[in-house]
């Protein structure tokens, strides 16, 4: 049986992969990378979870596969830009250098095929908890770990009963008033920063909430993560942007306008 042709994009953006963390869905990301091709890939922070690796070393083969696949793409000519986040902030000290054909930057400006300019950054600089109280951010990270642990076992039970994956943790976060207010404040701050820089939009990560919508005239794109949502932002050859959700069942597409459209895909076991 012949292999399926790769889906080709002009640009792919990924963030909040958290390699080195037990909750990372490296298997899904590796499959996504094998089945897609782009001229440019932006890695928008928290790709490697150095916070988690300081606590305990966890680096299984699927995590290694992701790194090897990315480096292989870079070697074959794909431009890869790595913008560190707060979980891999040690790499910020090396901004401007190139390692294994991967360029490190603090921020970037990307121009789409249709001429729009987008500010690209991780987003932790707009998080008052991370900047003002790093210890509180790490405490929140522990709570998030436990929430993901519950989510994992909850979905094991769902699969045994014949139900598909459903994110308990995302549901809880979406119902907590403070969490909703936090997301809204973050999105507004990021959009205002983009306005000040005179760009058409902003592409970021950090809050693990995939989104693409207009905020005060700015196209705000959040990349989500590869712990729960397994989402990436892609640019088509004509400059059109859309979110891709990669799972064991479907690839859901959400464009700049309009609802998501589900498309069946095959995912390697």
Tens digit of each residue's pLDDT, the chain (269 residues): 456 788 999 999 999 999 999 989 999 999 999 999 999 999 999 999 998 888 889 999 999 999 999 999 999 999 999 999 998 999 999 999 998 889 999 999 999 999 999 999 999 888 753 344 443 344 445 554 555 556 665 656 766 777 665 565 555 555 544 555 667 788 888 999 999 999 999 999 998 889 999 999 999 999 999 998 899 999 999 999 999 999 755 454 456 764 333 333 333 33
Contacts of residue 174, Cβ cutoff 8 Å, sequence gap at least 6 = 180
Q: Got the DSSP string for 135-164?
A: HHHHHHHHHHHHHHHHHHHHHHHHHHTTPP
CA atoms within 13 A of residue 239's CA, in its CB half-sphere: 11
Contacts of residue 166, Cβ cutoff 8 Å, sequence gap at least 6 = 155, 158
Q: pTM for the whole thing? A: 0.78
Domain 8-264 carries which CATH code? 3.60.21.10
Q: Is 202 within 8 Å of 121 (Cβ atoms)?
A: yes
DSSP state of 48: B
- Give the separation between CA 18 and CA 14, rounded to whole angstroms: 11
Spell out the domain ranges in the chain: 8-264
């Amino acid at each position: 049986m012949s292999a399926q042709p790769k889906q080709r994009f002009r640009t792919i953006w990924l963030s909040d992969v958290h390699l080195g963390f037990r909750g990372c869905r490296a298997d899904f990301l590796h499959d996504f990378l094998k089945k897609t091709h782009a001229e440019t890939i932006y890695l928008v922070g928290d790709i490697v979870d150095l916070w988690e690796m300081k606590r305990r070393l966890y680096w299984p083969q699927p995590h290694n596969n992701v790194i090897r696949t990315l480096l292989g793409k870079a070697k074959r000519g794909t431009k890869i830009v790595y913008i560190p986040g707060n979980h891999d902030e040690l790499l910020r000290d090396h901004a401007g250098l190139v390692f294994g054909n991967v360029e490190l930057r603090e921020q970037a400006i990307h121009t789409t095929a249709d001429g729009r300019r987008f500010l690209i950054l991780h987003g932790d600089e707009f998080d008052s908890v991370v900047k003002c109280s790093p210890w509180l951010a790490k405490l929140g990270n522990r709570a998030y770990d436990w929430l993901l642990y519950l989510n994992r076992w909850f979905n094991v039970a769902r699969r045994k009963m014949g139900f598909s994956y459903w994110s308990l943790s995302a549901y809880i976060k979406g119902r907590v008033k403070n969490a909703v207010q936090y997301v809204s404040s973050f999105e507004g701050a990021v959009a205002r920063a983009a306005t000040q820089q005179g760009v058409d939009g902003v592409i970021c990560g950090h809050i693990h909430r995939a989104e693409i919508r207009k905020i005060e005239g700015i196209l705000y794109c959040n990349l989500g993560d590869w712990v729960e949502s397994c989402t990436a932002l892609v640019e088509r050859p004509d400059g059109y942007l859309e979110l891709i959700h990669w799972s064991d069942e479907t690839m859901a597409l959400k464009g700049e306008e309009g609802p998501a459209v589900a498309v069946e895909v095959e995912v390697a076991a």
